[in-house]
Structures are given as C-alpha cells and as structure tokens.
C-alpha cells in the first residue's frame, strides 16, 4: 500500500473517546436532583465552569436517565452573535420539545397536544410566533390583541409559564437545559427571573450553564441568580472543575494506548500545561495521534 494511502487509513481509524473522566460525583449529584424533580422538587441548577471544562458534556449525560424515567430533556444554547434575537436558546429548546413529541407514540403526543392547547388558551399565537412548528400541532391560533411592549412582555411570560407548567408533569418530569448564559439576551435573563421554578413549576429542572470566566459579579446573570436565591427559589450549584492529575493519566492511558511511552511523565506535563482542561487535553490527544499517523513520533 502506498504510504499516503496507509496514512489515510490510519487517520480514518483515529478515535477519541467520548467517555468522561472524573465526573462520577457530579453525575450522581445531578441524577439525585433529577430524581427529586419527579417528586415535585423542581429547581434551578446552575452549572458554572471555565470554557472547555466539560459543562455541556456533563449535563448531556442526564439525557439517558431522563428518558428512562419517561421525562423530557430539552435544550437550547445562546450564541455569541445572536444576542439580538430574544429568547434564542428558549426557542431552540421548544423546537427540541416539539421534535421529541414526534418520537413518542400517538397517545402521548395527543395527551400533550391537548394539555398545551388547554394551557395556552387564547395566547396560542405567542407560542406559534416564537416557534412556528407548533402551528402544525395546534392549528391556526386566534389573533392576538395589540398591546404595549410592556404588556406584550408580560403576556409572553404568562404564556411561557403556562406552557412549561403544562408539559412538566409528575409522570413526565421536564429537564430544560439552557446553555451558554454568558451570551444571553436581557429578555431571557428577565424570563429566568420571572419563572417560578420549584413553587409553581414543581416538575421542572432548569439547568443554567455558563462560562464562569465570562460572567463576573456585574453580569446581569450573576445578579439574577442571586435574586433567585433571595426569593427562595430552590437552587443548587454544581461547579465543573478541571480534571486532576489522576483523571488526566487515565484519559491519556485509554486514549493513547497501546503505544504510549512514559505515561506518568506525559500526564504530569499535560496536566501542567492544560491545567486539566478536558478541551485542551482532548486536543492534545488528537495531535498526538495525528503525529503518530504521520510517522513523526518514533
């Protein structure tokens, strides 16, 4: 086989595991909190951590347990350059809810359609304006009265609240994962402030993940999270830390074997250089593997 072809084959075989290292405690904590949600212990869970620490990856591991417990896991993320679109991440989450309804059987879908219809009442158009897909489920909605911007905002909160209450149920607890709050628009932050999670919305777990290094004490998210706690909204915080030396060692061992030399030493250096940040460790592993493929590392 020609050298180039051989290399191509080697590169196509490159695999970097999606396994998470050093997260057993956090995973168990999140699952325990979710189990409480099914019993009506709804809450806001803040998940801070530096960029690349593994916030998103950790929270995604909740998908399976939620599914097994007949819950819904829906998610959306804010984008750095979409700050001028209000409720961007919430829209995405509702789109993901709409699609997950279609993976359920007809009986469940009918049940939820009925619940949503009843909940939104005459405000259905607020929902179909936000996520047009819902028109396919609910049909054409009655036209909304023209109101002032302030009234429209309150109408929106009311609609959102009713909708979430209708779709978070003891037999179907809801996980609403909203990621990257460092880029949230002000309207979304206001919405977060106004959601009565845990009191009115008892079967809801609202996960708020954000880059700690981009949210200082002056960021509106910080003030809002403080306010939620002052207002006695059930609130927990799980900080996602970088990995320790032992985690880094296992990460490298399982990713680079069978051909890794002086692993202890390598783990030490990588840990020092990356500070244990999974994103950088993973990038380093990819580079090692590529270097190996190109035959530069003997």
Ligand X SMILES: Nc1ncnc2c1ncn2[C@@H]1O[C@H](COP(=O)(O)OP(=O)(O)OP(=O)(O)O)[C@@H](O)[C@H]1O
52 binds, among ligand X, Mg ion, none (CB under 5 to 8 A by kind): ligand X
Query: Which residue, among 208, 118, 190, has the nearest Cα to 152 in the 3D structure?
Result: 190
Min CB(58)–Mg ion separation in Å: 9
The pair of structure tokens assigned to 152 is 């429209």
Min CB(163)–ligand X separation in Å: 27
Can you say how many angstroms the Cα of residue 72 is from the centroid of all Cα atoms in its chain?
A: 13
Applying the rule CB under 6 A, the residues between 115 and 144 that interact with ligand X are none
Q: How many residues bind ligand X, per CB under 6 A?
A: 18
What is the DSSP-derived secondary structure letter of residue 19?
P
The pair of structure tokens assigned to 237 is 């915080």
**H-helix segments, 121-185:** 124-130, 134-138, 149-167
Applying the rule CB under 6 A, the residues between 146 and 165 that interact with ligand X are none
Is 56 a binder of Mg ion (CB under 5 A)? yes
Contact segment (CB under 5 A) with Mg ion among 23-31, 53-61, 111-119, 267-275 equals 53-61
Applying the rule CB under 6 A, the residues between 230 and 289 that interact with ligand X are 251, 278-279, 282
Applying the rule CB under 5 A, the residues between 140 and 159 that interact with Mg ion are none
Min CB(56)–Mg ion separation in Å: 3
| Rounded Cα gap, residues 171 and 202, in angstroms | 12
| Rounded Cα gap, residues 126 and 131, in angstroms | 9
What is the DSSP-derived secondary structure letter of residue 154?
H
Is 47 a binder of ligand X (CB under 6 A)? no
Positions that interact with ligand X (CB under 6 A): 18, 20-23, 49, 51-57, 211, 251, 278-279, 282
């Amino acid at each position: 086989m020609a050298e180039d072809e051989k290399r191509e084959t080697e590169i196509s075989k490159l695999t970097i595991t999606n396994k998470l290292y050093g997260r057993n405690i956090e995973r168990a904590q999140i699952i325990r909190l979710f189990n409480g949600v099914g019993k009506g212990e709804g809450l806001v869970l803040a998940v801070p951590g530096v960029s690349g620490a593994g916030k998103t990856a950790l929270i995604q591991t909740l998908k399976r347990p939620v599914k097994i417990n007949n819950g819904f896991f829906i998610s959306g993320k804010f984008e750095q350059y979409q700050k001028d679109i209000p409720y961007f991440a919430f829209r995405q989450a509702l789109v993901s809810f709409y699609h997950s309804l279609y993976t359920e059987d007809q009986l469940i879908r009918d049940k939820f359609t009925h619940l949503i219809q009843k909940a939104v009442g005459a405000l259905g158009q607020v929902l179909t304006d936000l996520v047009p897909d819902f028109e396919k489920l609910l049909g054409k909605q009655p036209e909304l009265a023209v109101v002032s911007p302030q009234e429209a905002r309150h109408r929106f909160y009311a609609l959102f609240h009713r909708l979430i209450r209708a779709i978070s149920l003891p037999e179907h607890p809801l996980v609403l994962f909203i990621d990257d709050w460092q880029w949230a628009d002000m309207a979304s932050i206001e919405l977060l402030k106004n959601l009565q999670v845990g009191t009115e919305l008892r079967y809801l777990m609202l996960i708020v993940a954000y880059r700690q290094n981009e949210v200082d004490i002056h960021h509106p998210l910080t003030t809002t999270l403080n306010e939620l706690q002052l207002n006695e909204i059930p609130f927990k915080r799980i900080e996602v830390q970088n990995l320790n030396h032992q985690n880094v060692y296992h990460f490298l061992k399982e990713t680079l074997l069978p051909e890794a030399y002086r692993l202890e030493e390598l783990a030490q250096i990588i840990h020092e250089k990356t500070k244990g940040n999974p994103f950088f460790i993973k990038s380093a592993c990819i580079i090692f593997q590529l270097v190996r493929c190109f035959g530069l590392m003997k």
